[in-house]
Amino acid sequence: MSVTQQQVLEALAGVKSPRGVALTNANVLSPIAVSDGKVFFSINVDAAEARAWETVRAQAESVVRAIPGVASAMIALTAERKAGAPQPATRRQAPGQAPSHSPGHSPSHSHGVAPVAAHRPPPNPGGSPMARQSDIPGVAAVIAVASGKGGVGKSTTALNLALGLRDLGLRVGLLDADIYGPSVPRLTGIREKPELNDERKMIPIQRFGLAVMSIGFLVEEDTAMIWRGPMVMSAITQMLRDVAWGTLDVLVVDMPPGTGDAQLTLAQNVPLKGAVIVSTPQDLSLIDARRGLAMFTKVNVPVLGIVENMSYFQCPHCGTRSDIFGHGGARHEAERLGVPFLGEIPLHMAIRATSDSGNPVVASEPDGPHAAIYRAIGAKVRDQLKGATAAA
Ligand SMILES: Nc1ncnc2c1ncn2[C@@H]1O[C@H](COP(=O)(O)OP(=O)(O)OP(=O)(O)O)[C@@H](O)[C@H]1O
Ligand SMILES: [Mg+2]
């Protein structure tokens, strides 16, 4: 029996909204997508009201799940930015990404996310990341790619690092946990929505030999999203545990930028075996990188190392290298902090163009110099992981 939108709307009409009217009359529902018994939609409310809507979202999910024939329901609570309101600091210009653009720095902590201080993450019973790692059956290691601030090339690095690890013969997955601005759909060119298996788990999309999952597959990429703290965890937890990852050696998680409460909660709750910090050579970014390091140390997640992205400028015409940002900062910082230095990635048009066209450089130019750099970083990460396992 196939489920219809009408059935979903009828079920939702029985849910009362905080505005006193039925949910279906509150003017907050996105179009409802129903396919093969899977129901996806979002409830879009004003950021200030979001807390009051959390229970409504949960109720909506349970009434939809109760409809005969519904295999799963994924209902997101999103807070849409009002026209004219300041842009949440999620999509940023990469520093110096093209000569005609001025470097864009925006401190990560200015993120347009409501404070989540009231939301205390559940305690981590095992205390150590090793105790947490077996949480996802079949996945041997979950690693985070993180940065202190946005726009440093974290997503680009996460995807190309995942491909580098794939090239070393590992089975690799990529989870885009940047629920504020998922960019993996764009970076991979994936447009389809995940299917469900018999156990009602979402099947990750296979692309470039990677198992890929992103919240962006479920909601539109350009919907401005401001998630409430508890929603952040439930969305990420669902993507980690309600996804049929299969057997993976490494699951690479592209973290949201910043080191705020939401990120800390995430770092604490995701069963991470280690973290890779991406930084640009600028001082500002290094200060942020230090903050990123401190965040992982706080939650007992080993830092596998630092990657310096946009490390030096490589002229696409003559190949000449210029250290326009005074490169080498991240290497020194890593040495100073006693953290492994994983490698330097140049600022290069090919990396930007391939990323932005959904054809990451390691996949599209496997024999080129950039792919070799990402593979070398991948090899160091793999060795760090081996070391972490041996030490456990
Ligand atoms: N090494 C590089 N050379 C050239 N361009 C790069 C490089 N790394 C990243 N970029 C470009 O910089 C921009 C930002 O990169 P990316 O989206 O990976 O950053 P991010 O840290 O994930 O950002 P956000 O904080 O918004 O999630 C993209 O346009 C990307 O193509
Ligand atoms: Mg990103």
Q: Around ion ligand 2, which residues have CB less than 5 A away?
A: 154-155, 178, 183
Is-contact 202 234, C-beta < 8 A?
no
Ligand 1 pocket, CB under 6 A: 90-92, 94, 97, 147, 150-156, 178, 181, 183, 257, 309-310, 345, 347-348, 351-352, 355-356
Tokens of 261: 């409460």
Res. 144: pLDDT tops 60: yes
| 134-143, 227-236, 352-361, range with greatest mean pLDDT | 352-361
Measured in Å, residue 204 CA sits from the centre of ligand 1 at 23
Return d(Cα 236, Cα 187) in angstroms, integer.
20
Return d(Cα 110, Cα 1) in angstroms, integer.
48
Q: How confident is the model at residue 381 (pLDDT cuts 50, 70, 90)?
A: very high
pLDDT-wise least confident of 54-63, 93-102, 193-202, 262-271: 93-102
Q: What is the pLDDT of residue 317?
A: 77
Q: How confident is the model at residue 139 (pLDDT cuts 50, 70, 90)?
A: very high
Distances (CA, A) of 191 to 3, 220, 305: 23, 10, 32
Return d(Cα 297, Cα 282) in angstroms, integer.
23
Which amino acid, 184? V
Q: Comparing 124 with 320, which gets the higher pLDDT?
A: 320
Res. 82: pLDDT tops 60: no
Q: What is the pLDDT of residue 227?
A: 58
Q: Which ligand is nearest to the CA of 146?
A: 1
In this prediction the pTM is 0.71
Q: What is the pLDDT of residue 299?
A: 84
Q: Strands 248-254 and 210-214, how do they pair?
A: unpaired
DSSP state of 311: E
Q: Comparing 82 with 283, which gets the higher pLDDT?
A: 283
Tell me what the mean pLDDT of segment 93-108 comes to: 34
Quote the distance between the C-alpha of residue 19 and its chain's center: 33
Which residue matches tokens 């990560």? Answer: 108
List of E strands, 243-382? 248-254, 274-279, 303-314, 321-322, 341-347
Q: What is the mean pLDDT of the chain?
A: 78
> CA angle, 193 as apex, 90 and 70 as ends, to 5°?
115
Q: Comparing 140 with 321, which gets the higher pLDDT?
A: 140
